[in-house]
């Protein structure tokens, strides 16, 4: 856990009947994921998976963002852990991709990076009108993450996934529903109520049947998603710190548009 924050400072957990509501709670950082938040959500998902009184989990964000993605400040100053356990993104995404019960997202605002790539791991996504999501990876000189190279084409079709990943463009709420990334657009003030209503409807069903059904759904894709993540990690590792990634980060710091036209050819392999 990041020494600067504790789990209960970055994630709110509330049980409403048999629905467990997880609220990302770093509003001043637009709910960007640092190790503390990754660890807190991972622990919460694992706890909900084992709790017989929990039938469904809802994830949402506090404030004007669902999640702005990876906390770039922590990337520059990696958190130190001395307990010998795994932390951060890897165990978090493993918990999300194999979560054995219905998982629902209530996207209350912008979703960038993992704020988008988490969504195909959810069984249902409700999104607030005015919210929008983005996969910025290519524009940062890196590549896809979280199994999105497999999940996005499956969820929204090859061409929609290609456009989303190649251009790093914003996807508005209505378009997200149109292509199948989200299920329903809600008015912002009604988003959480409508999401919880759907979650309660699902949670009224027998938990064993929900788990059996989720297992069948996961069995059709889980191996492919895990293999996709391995390939993504390899490609990501080759690109991070490379010329395009350095130019993207420099442009961000200098508040200018990056210029990828003069990079050495080897950076394009």
Q: pLDDT by residue (tens digit) across 152-168?
A: 999 999 999 999 999 99
pLDDT reported for residue 262:
83
What residue has token string 């988003």?
191
Q: Residue 81 pLDDT > 70, yes or no?
A: no
| Digit-coded pLDDT (tens) for 90-112 | 999 999 999 999 999 999 999 99
Percent of the chain with pLDDT over 90: 81
Q: Residue 4 pLDDT > 90, yes or no?
A: no
223 Ramachandran zone, left/alpha/beta (phi>0; psi -120 to 50): alpha
| Digit-coded pLDDT (tens) for 105-142 | 999 999 999 999 999 999 999 999 999 999 999 999 99
The domain ranges of the chain are 7-189, 237-269
166 or 262, which is more confident: 166
* Mean per-residue pLDDT, 181-193: 98
pLDDT range class, residue 269, cuts 50, 70, 90 = very low
pLDDT reported for residue 144:
94
* Mean per-residue pLDDT, 5-26: 93
pLDDT reported for residue 2:
44
pLDDT reported for residue 77:
52
| Digit-coded pLDDT (tens) for 200-243 | 999 999 999 999 999 999 999 999 999 999 999 999 999 988 99
Closest CA to 100 of 43, 50, 39, 44: 50
pLDDT reported for residue 192:
98
Q: Residue 175 pLDDT > 90, yes or no?
A: yes
Q: Residue 76 pLDDT > 50, yes or no?
A: no
pLDDT reported for residue 209:
98
pLDDT reported for residue 268:
46
What fold, for 7-189? 2-enoyl-CoA Hydratase; Chain A, domain 1 (3.90.226)
């Amino acid at each position: 856990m990041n020494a600067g924050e504790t789990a209960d400072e970055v994630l709110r957990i509330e049980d409403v009947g048999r629905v467990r509501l997880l609220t990302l709670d770093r509003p001043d950082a637009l709910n960007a994921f640092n190790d503390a938040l990754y660890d807190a959500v991972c622990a919460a998902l694992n706890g909900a998976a084992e709790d017989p009184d929990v039938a469904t989990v809802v994830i949402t964000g506090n404030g004007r963002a669902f999640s702005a993605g990876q906390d770039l400040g922590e990337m520059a100053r990696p958190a130190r852990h001395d307990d010998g356990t795994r932390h951060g993104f890897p165990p978090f995404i493993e918990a999300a991709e194999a979560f054995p019960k219905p998982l629902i997202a209530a996207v209350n605002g912008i979703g960038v990076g993992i704020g988008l790539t988490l969504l195909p791991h959810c069984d249902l996504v409700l999104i607030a009108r005015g919210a929008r999501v983005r996969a910025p990876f290519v524009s940062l000189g890196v590549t896809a993450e979280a199994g999105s190279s497999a999940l996005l084409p499956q969820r929204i079709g090859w061409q929609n996934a290609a456009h989303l990943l190649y251009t790093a463009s914003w996807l508005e709420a209505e378009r997200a529903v149109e292509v199948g990334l989200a299920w329903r657009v809600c008015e912002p003030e009604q988003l959480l109520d409508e999401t919880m209503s759907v979650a309660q409807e699902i949670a009224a069903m027998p938990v064993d049947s929900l788990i059996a059904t989720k297992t069948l759904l996961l069995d059709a894709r889980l191996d492919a998603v895990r293999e996709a993540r391995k390939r993504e990690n390899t490609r990501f590792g080759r690109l991070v710190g490379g010329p395009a990634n350095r130019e993207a980060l420099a442009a961000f710091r200098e508040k200018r548009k990056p210029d990828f036209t003069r990079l050495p050819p080897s950076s394009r392999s």
